Structures are given as C-alpha cells and as structure tokens.
Amino acid sequence: MSATRLEKLRKISPLVIGDIMLDRFIYGKVERISPEAPVPIFKYDHEKEMLGGAGNVVANITSLGCKCDFLGVIGNDAEGRKISSLLKNIGVHSHLLRLNDYPTIVKARLIAGNNHIVRVDHEKNLPIIANVLDRFESILMKAIKGADVVLLSDYNKGILTVETTQMIISICRKLNKPVIADPKGLDYSKYRGATLIKPNLKEFGEATGRKYSPKSETFHEEVTEGAVRLMETHDIDNLIVTLSEYGMLHISRREKKINHIFTEAREVYDVSGAGDTTLATLGMAIGAGMAIKDAMVLANKASGIVVGKLGTATVSFEELCNACSDIGRARAESSMLSDDDLAALIAKAGKQHKSVKIVYSDFTSLSADQIEKLNDIKSGCDCLIAVICGKNGGSELARAVLCNHIAVDSVGSTDDINEFLRKHAADISLHEEDVISLN
C-alpha cells in the first residue's frame, strides 16, 4: 500500500463516541518481599498519565496524523480536567459532558521493570440521567454532520446504552455516515443498523452462544454461520472478528463469505490497547473510502506494531508506512509457492469443498485492468491463486502487487501452466473455466 494512498487517511474527519478513561502508569522496581505479608514491596520511581478506553482510540487516530472529534462523559473532578487537557494537547475537538456526581474512570497500573504487577480501577457505571439525553442528542446531530465516519468505543461503562447507541446509529443512517462499533456485552440489539461491528473471538462466542477454535477444521464454517445469524438478527452489514495471533476475519451480510487474514509474526510485549488501534485504523481507512478488506489489512499491520510496545501504545503514520513497505517486500520475497506446494494447496482447498480459480500470466507487467479482473474473479470463488508462468518469474513490481493484493489468496510459479495441470491431475480437480489467462 503506497504512502500516497495512506495519506488519504489523514484528510478525513472521524468522530469517536464512547467510554473515556484516564490511564495512569506508575513505574518502579521490586527488590524484596514485605515482612508484613507475602507481597512484593514496590519502590516508586515515576508515573505518567495518558488517555485510556475510548481516549486511546482518539490517541491512535491523532498519532496517525488525523484530526478527530470526541464525544463522551467525564466527572467534574481533577481527573476529568486532566482528560480534557490531554485531549486538547493532541488537538482533539471534544464534546465533554461533565457530571457532578460521577467520578472520572481511572485505571492505575503498577509496572516493575517490564512486569505489570497489578491494576487498580476507580470507577462506577454512568447513571442514566433523562434530562441529559436531549442535550446529548443535540450535540450528537452537530458532531455527526461534520464527520466522515463514526466510531463507537464501548467499554460497557454506561454512555453507550441501548437508547443512546440507537440514537447515534439512527442519526448516522439519516446522514449516510458509516458507523463502526467495538462492542461489549451479550446484547447486540443496541448495535442494530451499524455498518460494521468488531468483536474479538471471545466476545463473538459469548454473543452467539458457542465456543470457536481457530484450530478447528470447521472454524470458518462455524464462524460464518454464527456471524450471518447475528447480522441478520440485528440488521448489521459487516462483522470483523479479531483473533489475536490468528489475525482477523471479515464476513459480509450480503456476500456471506469469509475473508481471513493472518497476523504477521512478531514478538508480543503487551496487547493493551491493540483493539483500540484496530478500531482507529479501520475507521480511518473506511472513512477514507477504502474497501473493508483493504482496511482490515491496514488495521492488522497497525495492531501488529502496537503489541510490540509496552503499555497502552499508539502507532505513528511513519511506522505504518514503513510496515506496509517492509511487509510488502518481504511477502513478495517469501510468499511465492513452488510447483509442488501450489498443487498441495489446491488439493487441500478441494478437500475442504472450497471453490478455486487460477489466473495465470507471465506477469512481466500488471495493468489496472488486470487488477480489476482479479477483483471480479475473486468475487466468484473462495480461493484465488495467481500463477506466474515462465522462467523470468514476472516483474518485481507485479510480484509485490500480487503477494499483497487482498483479492489474491496465494501466488505460485511454474514454467508451463498446462504441464503443471497435467502433472498434478491426479491430486487436483479443476474445470476448464476455473483456469483463466490474464495475458
């Protein structure tokens, strides 16, 4: 993905609505056990405060170089004033409802070296105050009008009730604004009408009433069944399930097909806030007009960067650009399948009853028309494989594009496509119309 295309992300106007918190990190060290009880003695060194919860979504958006609006509730206290100051410092235009009898949520973490020892939460759920709703709706209408995309960051602390969430989604639909929710809880009826919801696998399992294992051979079929049922019940257009080290997958209510991308392997230091990074990047990409599949690839890269950092972290625009460039080159160098591996992949897909199509060419170049044709072919099959034919192996640019194109599931090479099909006829079963020339 080019830096020019990524630059479009920085020109949109996202609105984040949700449960904002103050994250307090207290650093020190542990050198001995207390004589009073079998607990470590934490020796204080320093601390820092940053935006948490929905505030971390906002922080990720601004870190990527985009201006952002935020709407949420804080207490009329010192911590609430700190949140207001932190939002102002990163250039966020905020609509904050300050309540006198409601404490700002604070999550304090004690960190000794690289070890997270304990977290202390200071919070209570937001009371439903009827006389605030009219004011809330008035602020909503104005804020949503100026937004390109609306992100709901739900931590189940009280601001996104059934009533307020449906109010937001109703306004978004009237104004034709995409609305993306990071859900919490078992009742997804409050997200009725959303453009996209993004639960993790545990949350998705709780919402559909069953457990899912990415290691199961029937995982995709089970997730698709549960996702389609959930979306049709609650009139939701798209669902993305994040799978931790297994990546993420997307199911469209219209197409009822699964698209699964895997995370790039990297050392994980801390998963804190990775979901917020995913929501922020997805929202920016969709708000900028990217297809959901492309937005998902970008969000996957962004969250992969964040889990390599300690604490609630953000990703910068430069880091994301570098990741896209580096990963694109690495995949082009390492993802090419050999003749035998290619045959094994096609045979495995057939055994799983997946529809497979092969496109082949010498790929000395790759035109815009050919790329569009790849998209069209992919829409009619489960697995699209691009095969580079001939001894030249295609151009470097074509290989890089194919290996990183969201429509192409795998890329292989062979000297002669007809010889390849004859050689592996006993293992793979393809119809003539499933083998398509792009020359």
Report, as residue numbers or ranges, the catalytic residues: 276
The 3-class secondary structure across 270-318, one letter per residue, is CCCCHHHHHHHHHHHHHHCCCCHHHHHHHHHHHHHHHCCCCCCCCCCHH
Give the closest residue to 359 by CA, choosing from 410, 424, 291, 419.
410
Residue 283 contacts residue 298 (beta carbons within 8 Å): no
Task: Name the residue among 366, 368, 347 with its Cα closest to residue 358.
Answer: 347
Q: What is the spatial distance between Cα 277 and Cα 149, in angstroms, rounded to a whole number? A: 16
The Cα–Cα gap between 172 and 145 comes to 8
Task: Give φ, ψ of 255 to 5 degrees.
Answer: -90, -25
Strand partners, 337: 412
The one-letter amino acid code at 200 reads N
Contact 251, 257 (CB under 8 A): yes
Answer yes or no: are the C-beta atoms of 73 and 99 closer than 8 Å: yes
Residue among 152, 233, 239 at smallest CA distance from 198: 239
Nearest to 55, CA basis, from 159, 145, 171 = 159
Query: If phi over 0 gives left and psi between -120 and 50 gives alpha, with beta otherwise, what is residue 31?
Result: alpha
